[in-house]
Homo-oligomer: A and B are copies of this chain.
């Protein structure tokens, strides 16, 4: 079941470096792309940084709306991730082309991609220099959600191997998130 994640814990949805999907919507159009270059940027209020290349349709929709949804897809979705990462949505709606289910977000127009393990609804922080020089976007996380089968009590628990997140290397080759490794001296996470 999709449940709200407290904003102070939302960085944990991205802290392990998963490849993401970025969904966008503006002017009656929508799109979704794959993005590996995404990371947390601050805890509270939570922010993230994401690279969105200049020529993409996502870039147009994100610039027009000032919003996006960052989702954390699973091993079961690897072909979907590669497909939306290897095609443009400029000429045809990728959600229809690839049969991708969506749910409405709570605070932004961009949709949540059904089947992902987590979702972050974001508002873009206006930084035109960063976008122009580095294709880099800073966003504040307004709302966060996770599938409570895989993220509960403030942490990931990938009980099903197909629910694990993905880590793209290059050209459609990924690693799954692997087994948990705790430092022997670890403290209880805050």
Show the binding face of A for B, using Cβ within 8 Å.
12, 15-19, 36-42, 47, 49, 51, 75, 78-79, 81-83, 86, 130, 134, 136, 138, 154-156, 164, 166-190
Contact = CB atoms under 8 A, between A and B. Distances in A.
Given A51-B41, A169-B156, A178 B176 contact: yes
A40 to B, nearest CB: 6
A170 B187 CA distance: 9
Identical copies in the complex:
2
Nearest to A37: B39
B176 A155 contact: no
A127 to B, nearest CB: 9
B178 A179 contact: yes
Contacts of A178: 164, 175-179
A175 B36 CA distance: 17
A167 B177 contact: yes
Given A49-B49, A134-B41, A136-B49, A189 B177 contact: no
A131 to B, nearest CB: 13
Given A19-B17, A136-B49, A155 B173 contact: yes
A171 B190 contact: yes
A36 B175 CA distance: 17
Most B CB contacts (10 A, CB to CB) among A83, A170, A189 go to A170
B188 A171 contact: yes
Contacts of A170: 12, 15, 154-155, 189-190
A190 B166 CA distance: 20
A185 to B, nearest CB: 6
16 contacts: A15-B36, A16-B168, A17-B19, A17-B167, A39-B39, A49-B136, A79-B185, A81-B183, A155-B169, A156-B175, A171-B190, A172-B183, A172-B187, A175-B180, A176-B179, A176-B180
